[in-house]
Amino acid sequence: SECGHTAVDSSGMAMIPYPANVRIMKVPCTGILQVHQLLEAFKSGAQGVMVVGCKSDGCHYEVGVQKAEKKVELAKTLLKEYGIEPDRLAMFNMVFIEGREFAQATQMMTQTLEKLGPLSLTDDSSIKA
């Protein structure tokens, strides 16, 4: 399958470990994600957010992944305006056979977040989701 979330499944089926602090939330298509949902994750305590979508030439919904990429970029811009490091949000494009790449991406993201240190929102209103 071409959907990005299948790389997560592939990683699990192959017993390729990824960091225990990674929480998976599957959606039918990353194109349905909204900017406010990405920001809400941070308001709810997430230290970082990874969006794993399909490859642009394999989207069942034709333009879903392109929509997601634009929303991720907008959310990164907003995070920066709120004083939050945009590197806390990242988009990766993968397919089923890339379970190992998924695990590597989660490790890379975890390392990035460790370098950035804990995200501490002092005021819930600092992020307008």
Residue with tokens 């333009």: 63
Q: The whole model's pTM is what?
A: 0.87
Which pLDDT band holds residue 1 (cuts at 50, 70, 90)? low
Checking if the pLDDT of 12 tops 70, the result is: yes
Which pLDDT band holds residue 26 (cuts at 50, 70, 90)? confident
User: Tell me: the pLDDT tens digits for 45-100?
Assistant: 999 999 998 887 777 777 888 999 999 999 999 999 999 999 999 999 888 788 88
User: Tell me: the pLDDT tens digits for 93-124?
Assistant: 888 788 889 899 999 999 999 999 999 876 55
- The pLDDT assigned to 125 comes to 46
